[in-house]
Chain A
């Protein structure tokens, strides 16, 4: 069975003081190959925990992840990750960073260089390939991170707020790039974000999660990602459906936040 199945995933941590936290409860998502899913939710709803379980960095207390019919038990090159920031290897040049995955597989120098050159063209960093990564701007660094992830030919790309640390303008450009890469490569992507607009723009499907315990609150199928491919994203944002969905989700999240805060008397 192709695609990524997240089946009744639950996660429970014991805290040192004896109590325990239900980070996730019965999360089930069935993702077909090539789908782009964005996950939204207030802080503490378990988005990152979910991503870490899918990546294999955490083992769930119950439930299972299945990728292309195989259970996932640990991290692997079939699931690439893009982090918010700081996950590039600053002791390597841009080229070496992008070629890291192929190098770990023991790929020969020539095909590796072809892959790297191709991806640097795709993300528009060809002329920076010999630079050190710390010499690049934040947006360029995230392009390197995307290229590094793609170089490994993963089946699924997991993005943990990949554009969260960028300024608004760079962020918009990068959103276009993510859509373009998604369409060109046909990868399955899970994108975690706390920007409602970004989730709507990029997500073919969108899941809004609720906290305590972390669970799926509402699921949407959205047309905007398809509309946005090769388009000016600002045109997409002008669509009346975009505005109404954004308002709906925003008030949903506001309600959740108020519920949390209200419980604390804030």
Chain B
């Protein structure tokens, strides 16, 4: 029962997060639809077309009339950068597009101190909110008259600061004086009062906690601006990170993927052929392959580390295993997919077994093998990054893992973007090779 209760609580937490996000998701969807109508309107105005597609009346559910709209792709990507820039106060956007930023500059509030004998006096606190890392002096102030003296303080943006405003007064906390109001509004411990630059709250002991408004923008430590990530890319590309250049980090990851994939193919393809050509081999390896295939390669990381350590060998074994089953299954189905009439035709044209293998079965299986290779490269790339997260001295995954430990969110983001770009490029490259090598794919 306890477990069910726990799961229920988790589920509620997830649901409440989703519900909280719903307005934003709805807003995004509305934006997509709005852009769609604007675009189709503009397009109709600009280019009245009368090709076959635009004369179709049934387009809903007509798969052939749905092709990826390039304009939508471009707008979608631009929008991501706009939103990213707007919520990080990026320099790439004009200021009016920024979401409200954190308060920065000088502000002030007054507090009312009530002495033990009941007399009260007001004093002003000058607050200077400055970007974190900037060295600034407290604003200059006059002490003021009465027993409560004026104070001044500095706070970094997105931060809050405690100030015992009464400490420089004639009657301090130890003399029984307490703060009773902020800007004339009464305050007691645990409550807060809004001021023009944020809010002021009181701790149980009576100390004031000054919190300047943080606005809607994200602090760089959570989400750095696009140009900060770009700048960091430049720095790491020239200076390197953790004793290795960027090219070395990425190169090591790619090297592992390629070696692992090639080894997996060298073993997996013949294995798949054997399984596709002999029922004995198929029976022998089917249980092994079918069992290993659904095991995520990541689940093997602990075992591989125990057996082979955290060096290159372990990672390459892991990637070998990631590619092996995929390639074996692809080769197997490539062989099984050969039409028997093709084999018959080849036999009656006088081909020997070996010639049938070389001229019929292997070429016939190539489309399947290339499909498998694309999947395997994708899985290997994902696996290598994950494996480097666990343990590595060089590599894309190691780079972002170490950066995350130092809260270098810009490096983490940069790494994620690079990993994405490389993964995408690998897939594009595989598709290109496929088009060159097996132009007959899907034409049989």
Interfacial residues, chain A to chain B (CB-CB below 8 A): 55-57, 74-77, 79-81, 83, 86-91, 100-101, 104-105, 132, 134, 145, 148-149, 152, 154, 158
Contact = CB atoms under 8 A, between A and B. Distances in A.
20 contacts: A76-B348, A81-B344, A81-B348, A83-B344, A86-B444, A87-B339, A87-B341, A88-B345, A89-B359, A90-B443, A90-B444, A91-B363, A91-B364, A100-B346, A104-B351, A104-B352, A104-B355, A132-B439, A152-B349, A152-B350
B338 to A, nearest CB: 11
Contact of A77 (B350, B440, B443): B350
B443 A87 contact: no
Contacts of B355: 104
A100 B342 contact: no
Contacts of A55: 344, 348
Overall SS of chain A's interface:
loop
- Which one of B344, B349, B351, B359 has the highest number of Cβ atoms from chain A below 10 Å of its Cβ? B349
Contact of B348 (A80, A88, A132): A80
Nearest to B362: A91
Contacts of B346: 89, 100, 104
B346 to A, nearest CB: 7
B365 to A, nearest CB: 11
Nearest to A135: B443
B349 A77 contact: yes
Contacts of A101: 349-350
Contacts of B342: 86-89
B344 A87 contact: yes
Closest 6 CB pairs of A and B: A77-B350, A134-B443, A75-B347, A101-B349, A91-B363, A90-B440
A149 B348 CA distance: 9
A86 B339 contact: yes
Contacts of B359: 89, 100, 104
A159 B181 CA distance: 104
B440 A91 contact: yes
A150 to B, nearest CB: 11
- Which one of B348, B360, B443 has the highest number of Cβ atoms from chain A below 10 Å of its Cβ? B348
A226 to B, nearest CB: 28
- B interface, how many residues as a size bin? 20 to 34
Contact of A86 (B341, B363, B366, B439): B341
Contacts of B348: 55-56, 75-77, 79-81, 154, 158
Nearest to A81: B348
A34 B360 CA distance: 31
A84 B344 CA distance: 13
B366 A75 contact: no
A153 B439 CA distance: 31
A49 to B, nearest CB: 14
Nearest to A84: B341
A73 to B, nearest CB: 13
Interface string B349-375: 111100100011001101000000000
A158 B364 CA distance: 24
A56 B344 CA distance: 9
Contacts of A74: 347
Contacts of B351: 100, 104
Contacts of B440: 90-91, 132, 134
A21 to B, nearest CB: 20
Interface string B328-350: 00000000000101101111111
B260 to A, nearest CB: 29
A89 B360 contact: yes
B339 A57 contact: no
A141 to B, nearest CB: 11
B349 A83 contact: no
A89 B440 CA distance: 10
A134 B438 CA distance: 13
Contacts of A158: 348
Nearest to A96: B359
Interface string B218-233: 0000000000000000
Interface string B427-444: 000000000001110011
B345 A83 contact: yes
- Which one of A77, A91, A134, A152 has the highest number of Cβ atoms from chain B below 10 Å of its Cβ? A91
A104 B366 contact: no
Contact of A91 (B344, B347, B350, B366): B366
B439 A75 contact: no
B360 A76 contact: no
Contacts of A148: 345, 349
Contacts of B364: 91
A75 B443 contact: no
Contacts of B345: 81, 83, 87-88, 145, 148
Interface in B100-144: none
Contact of A104 (B341, B344, B350): B350
Nearest to B344: A57
Given A132-B440, A154-B348, 5 more contacts: A81-B348, A83-B345, A100-B349, A101-B349, A152-B349
Given A104-B352, A134-B443, A134-B444, A83 B347 contact: no
